[in-house]
Amino acid sequence: MSHSAALAATIPTVTSSLAWIPLLPLAAFAVLMLCGRRLGRLSAWLSVAALAGSLLLTCRLAGPVFQGQRLALAWSWLPDTAAQWSMGLAVDGLSWVMLAVVTSIGTLIQLYSIGYMHGDPRFSRFFAYLSLFCASMLGLVMADHFVLLFACWELVGVCSYLLISFWFEKPEAAAAGRKAFITTRIGDTGLLLGILLLAATAGDLHFNQLGAIRMQWLLKDHGGLLTAVSLLIFLGAMGKSAQIPLHVWLPDAMEGPTPVSALIHAATMVAAGVYLVARTFPLFTAESLAVVLAVGLATHLLAGTVALTMTDIKRVLAYSTLSQLGLMFTALGLGAMPLAMFHLVTHAWFKALLFLGAGSVIHATHQQDLAHVGGLWRHMPLTGATFLIAALALSGIFPLSGFWSKDAILLEARHRAPWVYGCVLAGAVVTAGYIFRLYLRCFHGAASSSAAHAHESPLVMALPLAVLAAGAAVVGFVGSPVTHFRLFQLLGVPDAHEGIDLVVVGVSTLMAGAGVWLAWQVGVRHRRLLPAGLRPLGSRLYGWASHKYFVDEGYEAVLIQPFLRLTRWLSQFDHNVIDAAVDGAGRTGWSISRLKAWVDQRVVDRLVNGVAQSAQAWGRALRLMQTGWLHQYLLWVAVGVVVLSVWMRWWPEALVSRGAF
């Protein structure tokens, strides 16, 4: 980066239009919540228009962002506190990439939802939630401060919960929403702790200060603190991006409507974890990156193998998402943040397309089990073709988008750590295998009964499919030599890439081809390729994978059942001990108050009455003196005078000693 560009990056350009990017969908949300029912079908178009407006604003920011400027808009939050607590929005290259992904894919998926959710009783409510999601996601991406990021982070979590359990009449959907919310909460707690730790130690939570904090701490030999903060932040990312071991919620989240799965649980929200790590990348030390790498790689491989065995279309895609997010974290763990973001961008396009294609199939056949679909190509050629493009892109076939991002990661892995390279190559076989098993079973092979009356989706659904397919095909070029690696320039890495390594390209294409061949042989034609001796082992591995490595069962046995036992025991304890104690205290209080009432009536009241009665008696006695007879009064006076005179005459000292005179 040249000196002037570096200067431009440090001094933000104030841009007030930034606020409108999240505010437009937020306004749409408010309108839809208040009068969505009356707007009917118009509500969807309002929502789409709002997000398209955000897309337009994002495009208008492209010029300055590509020049290396950092656009910002800050306002004073908590007046009278230090300036470091101001809050604001900021757009640099990294945020802009995410903004572009969220707004463009979000607009297309909302458009698609108009067709998919047609006739749903809570049609406008769905779009209200989608708008709220987009608003909070945009806020998350544009936040220049941990506090705002965390608030939006939780908001997208809420939207995810609302949208997973959108069809809450289905008990599975309600349970899946709960599971997603609670599981991500574990990660969010980590993120919150990380933020608090950072606030307590560094005192500044602005993202553009992270580099300075890293320098300071490394100088003071506080590397351990840096590792702790970054691992806590990574825990939040693990929850949101569903990395092992917090991945269990994402497959269940497929109970939500398919556009939701496409937008939130494939393209944008689950990628927020990757974005978070990329955004806070200066905080990550070698130790924490090793953890990121291990988690990412484990998720990449394990989720990929589970995807091979799933029979539900959306669950295959869910595990595929897990696996690809794992790949992004692998890239982050290798220290190659721009590559992770690159894969995030391409993955968002082709995975959204895969989900929308799957949604199209489900919409047409009302089936989402691989056993009940097949031979759909003849009835749904557009869906089939776009799905094929997405599947090829995911497998990393030249020159589709996935190829560029995946090969960049492979190349990086080969330079940094050969064993990671081997693992990612194995992952490439698995990836191509599961996605082509899905594709071939859906669109080829024997036509199922449900395929007979399947039909191509309406235009409002087909158009986004076509646009996404075009995007999934070409979006990879932004990180390729064709455009001189524009994306990496945007992310602040002008010339890190060495070009294309033909060996890596050849090997990865070979691996993808092997995966496709295996999918055809095993997944569709049901050939038995393993030698007879290895078959028991193979079937055991298959069993493990098809049970998702028993993670859910493990959580059930290790966490949930003991927890339920504990709660039952606590309930007993509550009932037998605490309630008894409380009742006893109540009874004691009652007895004491009865005693007090007796004392009150017998002693206090009698005393009071006695005082009153004595006053009355005195009054009666003294009344006798008040005869109204003047001479009697005068007589009393005279007698008094005589008595006093006599007293003073004979005992004057008595009066003096009493102080009367």
Which is nearer to other proteins, 567 or 627 (by Cβ)?
627
Choices 224-232, 258-266, 605-613, 630-638 (CB under 8 A): range interacting with other proteins:
630-638
CA 583 to chain centre: 44
For the bound state, the minimum distance from the C-beta of residue 635 to other proteins, rounded and expressed in Å, comes to 6
CA 510 to chain centre: 37
CA 276 to CA 146: how far, in whole Å?
10
Choices 161-169, 346-354, 430-438, 624-632 (CB under 8 A): range interacting with other proteins:
624-632
Q: How many helices (H) and strands (E) does the chain have?
A: 28, 3
433 close to 529: Cβ distance less than 8 angstroms: no
User: E strand or H helix at 332, and its extent?
Assistant: helix 313-333
Which is nearer to other proteins, 218 or 634 (by Cβ)?
634
* Residue of the chain from 38, 220, 631, 649 that contacts other proteins (CB under 8 A): 631
**Phi and psi for 74 in degrees, rounded to 5?**
-120, 150
Ramachandran region, residue 374 (left: φ > 0; alpha: ψ -120 to 50; beta: rest): left
Choices 2-10, 103-111, 513-521, 627-635 (CB under 8 A): range interacting with other proteins:
627-635
For the bound state, the minimum distance from the C-beta of residue 648 to other proteins, rounded and expressed in Å, comes to 16
Ramachandran region, residue 396 (left: φ > 0; alpha: ψ -120 to 50; beta: rest): left
Half-sphere exposure of 532 (CA within 13 A, CB side): 0
For the bound state, the minimum distance from the C-beta of residue 622 to other proteins, rounded and expressed in Å, comes to 14
Q: Is 628 in the site for other proteins (CB under 8 A)?
A: yes
Which is nearer to other proteins, 83 or 621 (by Cβ)?
621
216 close to 283: Cβ distance less than 8 angstroms: no
Choices 90-98, 272-280, 336-344, 631-639 (CB under 8 A): range interacting with other proteins:
631-639
Which is nearer to other proteins, 286 or 630 (by Cβ)?
630
Q: Is 155 exposed, middle or buried (0-12, 13-18, 19+ CB in 10 A)?
A: middle
Which is nearer to other proteins, 77 or 633 (by Cβ)?
633
Q: Is 638 in the site for other proteins (CB under 8 A)?
A: yes
- DSSP assignment of 438-494, as one string? HHHHHHSSSPPGGGTT--PPPHHHHHHHHHHHHHHHHGGGGGSGGGTSHHHHHTT-S
For the bound state, the minimum distance from the C-beta of residue 589 to other proteins, rounded and expressed in Å, comes to 51
Q: Are strands 71-75 and 13-14 parallel, antiparallel or unpaired?
A: parallel
* Residue of the chain from 558, 560, 634, 643 that contacts other proteins (CB under 8 A): 634
For the bound state, the minimum distance from the C-beta of residue 590 to other proteins, rounded and expressed in Å, comes to 50
For the bound state, the minimum distance from the C-beta of residue 650 to other proteins, rounded and expressed in Å, comes to 18
Q: In the range 443-502, which residues lie near other proteins by CB under 8 A? A: none
For the bound state, the minimum distance from the C-beta of residue 603 to other proteins, rounded and expressed in Å, comes to 36
Q: In Å, what is the CA distance from 57 to each residue of 72, 92, 130, 596?
A: 14, 14, 19, 76
Which is nearer to other proteins, 604 or 641 (by Cβ)?
641
Which is nearer to other proteins, 580 or 638 (by Cβ)?
638
Question: What contacts 479, CB < 8 A, 6 or more positions away?
Answer: 338, 342, 345, 346, 404, 405, 408, 485, 486, 487, 488
Which is nearer to other proteins, 537 or 638 (by Cβ)?
638
For the bound state, the minimum distance from the C-beta of residue 628 to other proteins, rounded and expressed in Å, comes to 4
Which is nearer to other proteins, 623 or 658 (by Cβ)?
623
Q: In the range 290-329, which residues lie near other proteins by CB under 8 A? A: none
Q: Is 619 in the site for other proteins (CB under 8 A)?
A: no
| Tokens representing residue 192 in the block | 């919150």
Residues near other proteins (CB under 8 A), total: 7
For the bound state, the minimum distance from the C-beta of residue 644 to other proteins, rounded and expressed in Å, comes to 15
239 close to 72: Cβ distance less than 8 angstroms: no
* Residue of the chain from 557, 558, 559, 635 that contacts other proteins (CB under 8 A): 635
Q: Is 629 in the site for other proteins (CB under 8 A)?
A: yes
Contacts 24+ apart (CB under 8 A), 23-26: 23/135, 24/50, 24/51, 24/53, 24/54, 24/57, 24/135, 25/50, 25/51, 25/54, 25/131, 25/132, 25/134, 25/135, 25/138, 26/131, 26/132, 26/135
Which is nearer to other proteins, 635 or 656 (by Cβ)?
635
Which is nearer to other proteins, 2 or 626 (by Cβ)?
626
For the bound state, the minimum distance from the C-beta of residue 629 to other proteins, rounded and expressed in Å, comes to 7
User: E strand or H helix at 90, and its extent?
Assistant: strand 87-91
Which is nearer to other proteins, 532 or 624 (by Cβ)?
624
- The alpha-carbon radius of gyration of the chain (Å, integer) is 38
Q: Is 168 exposed, middle or buried (0-12, 13-18, 19+ CB in 10 A)?
A: middle
* Residue of the chain from 75, 630, 653, 660 that contacts other proteins (CB under 8 A): 630
For the bound state, the minimum distance from the C-beta of residue 606 to other proteins, rounded and expressed in Å, comes to 31
If DSSP codes are grouped into helix, strand and coil, which group holds residue 256? coil
Residues in the chain: 661
Q: Is 6 in the site for other proteins (CB under 8 A)?
A: no
For the bound state, the minimum distance from the C-beta of residue 658 to other proteins, rounded and expressed in Å, comes to 28
CA dihedral of residues 411, 289, 332, 486 (deg, nearest 10): -80
Binding mask 576-615 for other proteins (x = CB under 8 A): ----------------------------------------
For the bound state, the minimum distance from the C-beta of residue 587 to other proteins, rounded and expressed in Å, comes to 56
Which is nearer to other proteins, 3 or 631 (by Cβ)?
631
For the bound state, the minimum distance from the C-beta of residue 637 to other proteins, rounded and expressed in Å, comes to 9
**Contacts with other proteins, residue ranges (CB under 8 A):** 628-631, 634-635, 638
